Structures are given as C-alpha cells and as structure tokens.
Amino acid sequence: MNKIKQLINKYSFEIFLILIIIGMTIHFIKFEHYASKEQQKLLKEQEFLLKQRKQLKENYNKCQNNIQKLKEIIKQKSYNKEVMIKFIMKKNPKIYRSLALSITNNIIKYEKQYNLPTYIMLFLMDVESDFRVFIVSKSHAVGLCQINWKVWLNELKEKKIITNLRDLYDPERNINAGSYILAKYLNQYKSLKKGLQAYFGKVNGKTYFEKILKSAGEFYFMQAEDI
C-alpha cells in the first residue's frame, strides 16, 4: 500500500496528464458524435430541399405542359363526342351512357351558343361536380356546374334560362346556366384564367385554374389514345 502511495506521489504529474488526456479524448469522442449527428441532420435537410426543388420543377413543367395541352384543345373547332362520353363515364363510373351523351351534347350546344372555348365546360364540370347531377355543396351550389343560386337565381330567371331553383337539377338547364355565367366572366376579364377563377369566386387565386389544367391534361391523353 505504501509502495502504491509512493508511486502515486512520484508520478502524480504524469497521472494528472494522463487523466487530462483521457478526459479530453472522451470529450472529443462526444463532440465527434454530436458533430456527426449534426452533419447527418444537415445532409438530410439538404437532401429534402433538393427533393423539394426537384418536385417543384416537375410540377412547374407539368403545369406548363398542361397549359400547352389546354391551348391545343380549346383551339380545336370540332368535338370528339366519343372521347367526351368516355371521359365523363371514367370520372363518374355511376353515370350511364345515355346521360353522358346528353351532357356531351349540351356542352357542345351551349359552348357554341355562348362562344366558349372548346371543351372548357367539360373540364369545368369535372372540377366542380365530377359530373354528379344532383350534388349540392355546403355553400348551396347546385348540380353539374355548381351554380350558386343565392347569387345567380334572379338573373338566370330574367334571362329565361331557368324558371325556378328546381330547374338547376336538370342537366341541360344547369349546363346552360354554367355556360352563361362563365361567358359573362370571360367577357368581363378578357382572360381565360381570370374568368375561370372568377367563376370559382377567387379572381386572384390559382388553384382552381390548375385543377382545370389537370383535367385538360387527362382529357388530352385520353384523346391521344383514341387516335
């Protein structure tokens, strides 16, 4: 025991240095571990940001592609009725063919009557109602084109498009009303995007127009497959 004490006394400085080195080594290992964790965290954040950037770029390219497709579609002068019927029945599998045909014929009829871009009411109904005739929204919008009767009822009566609220559950009169309203907004804003956004109720928004573009893109591919 005395020998151990003597050794400790003799080498106390060396022992002190060894303890300091051990302490520093432990501290360094902990620091390295913490730094490694922080580095991994930064790498994950960087990877996430790169993925987000890539996704944004892809979404932008899709949007641009859909805009081009929409421009190509609405410039068409003729209608592909069979593809329209297929599109309606795909979006609403519960709808029967005769009703899909009736909706198709009325889209063509009223787009021509109000000088609307080709197929635009098809895309609008897809976004608004999924081609459900009797749907009523929480804001009391009715039917295929989701007509807000609280806003439009009196004007639609004056124009003899409908005679009462029940008429909006009739597909043809609902399409007539929706076409009239969209034509009015397009004439007011002189812009397809703003006119559609106004129909939705938010002129300066963009999500509604993007939904229309998506619908147009889906129809474009279906039309291309049919060729």
Residue 141: strand pairing partners: 148
User: Is residue 54 located within the same domain as residue 83?
Assistant: no
Domain span at 56: 2-60
pLDDT higher than 90, residue 26: no
Domain membership of residue 49 (yes or no) is yes
Does residue 91 share a domain with residue 52? no
C-alpha 115/C-alpha 183 separation (Å) is 8
CA 46 to chain centroid, in Å, comes to 26
Identify whether residues 39 and 117 lie together within a single domain. Answer: no
Domain end (from 33, 60, 87): 60
Alpha-carbon distances of 164 from 106, 129, 177, 184, rounded to whole Å: 20, 21, 12, 21
Q: What is the reported pLDDT for 85?
A: 97
Non-local CB neighbours of 165 within 8 Å, separated by 6+ positions: 142, 149, 153
Question: Between these two residues, 220 and 61, which has the higher pLDDT value?
Answer: 220
Residues 81-90 have pLDDT tens digits of 999 999 999 9
Q: Are residues 55 and 84 in the same domain?
A: no
Residue 111 has pLDDT above 80, yes or no: yes
Q: Are residues 101 and 12 in the same domain?
A: no
Residue 71 counted as domain residue = no
> Is position 30 within any domain?
yes
Q: How confident is the model at residue 225 (pLDDT cuts 50, 70, 90)?
A: confident
| Side chain identity at residue 207, one-letter code | T
Query: Residue 123: is its pLDDT beyond 90?
Result: yes
User: What's the total number of domains in the chain?
Assistant: 2
Cα–Cα dist 17/79, whole Å: 90
Residue 162: which CATH number?
A: 1.10.530.10
pLDDT above 70 (res 57): no
pLDDT of residue 221: 85
205-217 pLDDT tens trace: 778 999 999 999 8
What is the average pLDDT score of the chain? 83
pLDDT of residue 55: 66
> Which parts of the chain fold into alpha helices (H)?
2-10, 12-74, 81-91, 97-113, 120-129, 149-158, 171-189, 192-200, 207-226
